[in-house]
Amino acid sequence: MQWSSKTSSSGSDGADFPCSDGGTVYPLSGLPLGQPGESLSGSLPGSFLGRTSWGRESAPIGLFDSGVGGVTVLRELYEQMPHESVVYFGDTARLPYGKRSAEEIIEFAHEILEWMGQQGVKMVIMACNTSSALALEAVQGKYDFPILGLILPGARAAVRNGSRIGVISTEATAKSQAYAQAIAEINAEAQVWQVGCPPFVPLIEGNRIFEAETELIVRDYLAPLLQQQIDTLVYGCTHYPYLEPVLRKILPDSVALIDPASHVVSAAAKELDALGLRSTSQPRPTFFAVSGQPQPFAAMATQMLGYCPQVEQVLLPTLISNVASPLLDAA
């Protein structure tokens, strides 16, 4: 497969574009991952670029999602494994994943995983519940690095907390019954209600979280779960933690919110320890890539990360074949 990339900018002159916090995203120089380049604006303390090759332990962990939702997993990784370098991919040109078929999700996962392999990752976390539900089994064992998903860690955490469990997710994840099946395998006595919430990802990606209409929409989708008197609510999509301020206004205080992000990162740490691949060296700045336009992703990610990421656009093979690439046009 072939990939095409271009640097992020606000115009044809390659000028910097502002993040939502007034910071600046600096376009990448076009250097391959791991080669010297400019430091990030507001990068994490101790992060750096400059080494010319990865050691196996210091190789990056790959994270991917349909968009900015996986940043919730990235934040957990920063917290729990501060010495790990990260490659993040957001498939923003093809979001939302929730209405995609299983065949499409599997195809997208293979494309992203092949690209991740080119970046030299030592592990990949599917920071996307839809991909975890529909593609994980299809891709595990086909690459020379372990691949972890969100469903099982999230299910285990939910069962530890309660027995009347609600799951909010994309339509595809809800239809897959992945959480219900995983929870049943752990505790057959637990009751599970799943609700597909197709408007949630577009609302979050559109930065409409605090609009009055958003609260009305969220209330409507939570109503069936509240009627069942749930004691636990699982974020069945990595975008949904962004909605926590809205959810907390609607849910009783007794309902626990379960974010599978923290639990999949804990599982990843144990896996790396078992493989002898935990890094103890200083991490490099996180490499961010998206399949769509970098600017909207950077602006939204800044709100969650507290710093302004530099982002590169990478066109995956099916996007190159379906959409005219500026790079190809210029060739």
pLDDT of the chain along its 331 residues, tens only? 444 555 443 333 333 444 544 333 333 222 233 322 233 333 332 223 333 356 789 999 999 999 999 999 999 999 999 999 999 999 999 999 998 999 999 999 999 999 999 999 999 999 999 999 999 999 999 999 999 999 999 999 999 999 999 999 999 999 999 999 999 999 999 999 999 999 999 999 899 999 999 999 999 999 999 999 999 999 999 999 999 999 999 999 999 999 999 999 999 999 999 999 999 999 999 999 999 999 999 999 998 899 999 999 998 886 665 544 333 333 3
Residue with tokens 């069942």: 228
The hierarchical CATH code for the domain 4-149+263-330 is 3.40.50.1860
Q: What's the confidence (pLDDT) of residue 22?
A: 37
Take residue 18 and report the two structure tokens written for it.
């502002």
- Common-topology check for domains 4-149+263-330 and 151-260: yes
pLDDT for the residue numbered 55: 75
Distance (Å) of CA 174 to CA 50, 128, 136, 230, 235: 44, 13, 16, 17, 12
Whole-number pLDDT of residue 19: 57
User: Where do the structural domains in the chain lie, given as residue ranges?
Assistant: 4-149+263-330, 151-260
- Position 9 scores a pLDDT of 33
Residue 189 vs residues 162, 207, 229: alpha-carbon distances, Å:
11, 39, 16
Please say whether the beta carbons of 163 and 186 come within 8 A: no
Query: 64 pairs with which residues across the strands?
Result: 89, 126
Joined together, the tokens standing for residue 69 give 């939702």
> Catalytic positions, please?
128, 237
Distance CA 279, CA 326 (A): 38
Q: CA angle, corner 23, sides to 22 and 25, nearest 5?
A: 130
With tokens 């005219």, the residue in question is: 324
How far apart CA 114 and CA 101 sit, in angstroms, is: 20
So what's the pLDDT on residue 34? 32
Residues in the chain: 331
User: What is the model's pLDDT at position 70?
Assistant: 97
Q: What is the dihedral of CA 241, 246, 251, 254, to 10 degrees?
A: 60
Phi, psi of 240 (to 5 degrees): -70, -25
Partners of 126 in the beta sheet?
64
Say whether domain 151-260 belongs to CATH 3.40.640.10.
Answer: no
